[in-house]
Amino acid sequence: GVHASDVQVRLKYRPWRIDEIQTSGLQDQSVPRVLFKDCCSPGVVQVGTASDDFDEYELSAVEVHSPSEHTFRHASWPVELQLWHRPRALLRISTLAGDIARLANRSRQAD
């Protein structure tokens, strides 16, 4: 079988640009959060080595928790950074659906 140590995880991140941010502010009145635009994720996590098996996840949001929400080695920490990802394949399908809808609207307007 496959063991956790046999799985390759590739992190592909780059610096963020301000024009990639959809919103920022507080979530639930206390948690700082940055949400990235669907088109402009500044990072991808890939599980495994194949690029055609739907195992890529795009960075969608970053949250900062202070103090930490979780423990590590039975200890709490002053700050915890959470990186939220969503499947890249779903984003591509969503983008394609939006493109199809826009083309259909243009076609109707041209008729």
DSSP string, the chain: ---GGG--EEEEE----GGGEEEEEEETTTEEEEEE-TT--SEEEEESS-SSSS-EEEEEEEEEESS-SS-BTTB--S-EEEEEEEEHHHHHHHHHHHHHHHHHHHHHHH-
Tally the domains of the chain: 1
* Residue 44 domain boundaries: 4-110
pLDDT tens-place string over residues 29-38: 778 889 999 8
Residue 31's pLDDT is what? 85
pLDDT tens-place string over residues 16-64: 999 999 988 877 777 888 999 988 889 999 887 766 666 889 999 999 9
Question: Which amino acid, 91?
Answer: L
**Of residues 26, 110, 106, 94, the one with CA closest to residue 58:** 94
Global pTM reads 0.66
Instruction: Establish how many alpha carbons lie within 13 A of residue 54's alpha carbon, considering only the half-sphere containing its beta carbon.
Output: 6
